[in-house]
């Protein structure tokens, strides 16, 4: 089985590759190595790493049509909320245009495939002290990051509805674990503790649901069986 992974040098993508490679898949990783990437995150051999930008359509199309994946697992994104508030443009370019490019290129595949789009629960906005989100929750993004992820979800939904595009959207909550960039909450708290800096992770009204990354990687491995078009 051939897997095309986008954003495989990042936090979740690299953990997914490290786990999936135990199952003898042929894996191609597409990543343009932004500040969030670390090539050392991938700790296994035999991964075909290609350094291209998902916003670059000709290269993306060529890579996908040459490789003919059975499954595409799409992690590549600009993912830090604070950065999206400072400069939203790159979030729109990567998260929306990049996802559109993948949809268009995959639509040209002649083989069966399954597209797994890794999104976030932040597209649903914020929960109060109680409750939960599910697939029927209304979209209510609160930041440029979550708006760009919500836009990419809507593209996937529209392609499913209009063209029968074979996709699954995963709206997972915050993850923590190995390979996570130091800008994120738990690594930041730990780094601050080591340098004796004041730790103020959240306002008193904020609560975070954070799950262990191993759980996410294992769940993802269960859902990428190819489906018929």
Beta partners for residue 49, in sequence order: 29
Least distance to ligand NAD, CB of residue 93, Å: 7
16 lies in the binding site for ligand NAD (CB under 6 A): no
| 60 near ligand NAD (CB under 6 A) | no
Whether 145 is catalytic: yes
Q: Give φ, ψ of 115 to 5 degrees.
A: -105, 120
113 token code pair: 């495939």
- Residue 174 near ligand NAD by CB under 6 A: yes
Report DSSP state, residue 95: I
Of the candidates 122, 135, 140, 163, the residue annotated as catalytic is 122
Q: CB burial class (10 A; 0-12, 13-18, 19+) of residue 113?
A: buried
Which stretch in 102-110, 131-139, 156-164, 168-176 sits in contact with ligand NAD by CB under 6 A?
A: 168-176
Contact 8, 30 (CB under 8 A): yes
How many angstroms separate the CA atoms of 136 and 146, rounded?
17
- Span 138-157, contacts to ligand NAD by CB under 6 A: 149
Question: What stretch of H or E contains 115?
Answer: strand 114-120
Given candidates 181, 188, 189, 229, which one binds ligand NAD under the rule CB under 6 A?
181
Residue keyed to tokens 């609160």: 142
| Contact map string, positions 93 to 112, toward ligand NAD, x by CB under 6 A | -x---x--------------
- List interacting residues with ligand NAD (CB under 6 A): 6-7, 9-13, 30-34, 36-37, 53-55, 75-79, 94, 98, 118, 120, 149, 172, 174-175, 181
Positions marked catalytic: 121-122, 145
């Amino acid at each position: 089985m051939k897997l095309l992974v986008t954003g495989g040098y990042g936090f979740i993508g690299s953990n997914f590759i490290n786990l999936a490679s135990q199952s003898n898949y042929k894996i191609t990783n597409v990543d343009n190595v932004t500040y969030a990437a670390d090539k050392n995150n991938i700790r296994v051999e035999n991964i075909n790493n290609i350094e291209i930008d998902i916003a670059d359509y000709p290269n993306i199309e060529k890579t996908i049509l040459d490789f003919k994946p059975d499954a595409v697992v799409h992690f590549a994104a600009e993912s830090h909320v604070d950065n999206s508030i400072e400069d939203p443009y790159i979030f729109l370019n990567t998260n929306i245009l990049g996802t559109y490019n993948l949809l268009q290129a995959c639509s040209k595949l002649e083989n069966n495939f399954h597209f797994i789009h890794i999104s976030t629960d932040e597209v649903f906005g914020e929960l109060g002290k109680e409750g939960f989100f599910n697939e029927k929750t209304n979209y209510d993004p609160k930041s440029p990051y979550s708006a760009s992820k919500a836009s990419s979800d809507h593209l996937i939904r529209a392609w499913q509805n209009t063209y029968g595009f074979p996709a699954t959207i995963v709206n997972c909550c915050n993850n923590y674990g190995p390979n996570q960039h130091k800008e994120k909450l738990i690594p930041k708290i730990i780094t601050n503790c080591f340098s004796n800096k004041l730790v103020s992770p959240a306002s008193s009204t904020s609560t975070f649901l954070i799950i262990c990354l191993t759980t996410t990687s294992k769940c993802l491995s269960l859902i990428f069986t190819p489906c018929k078009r």
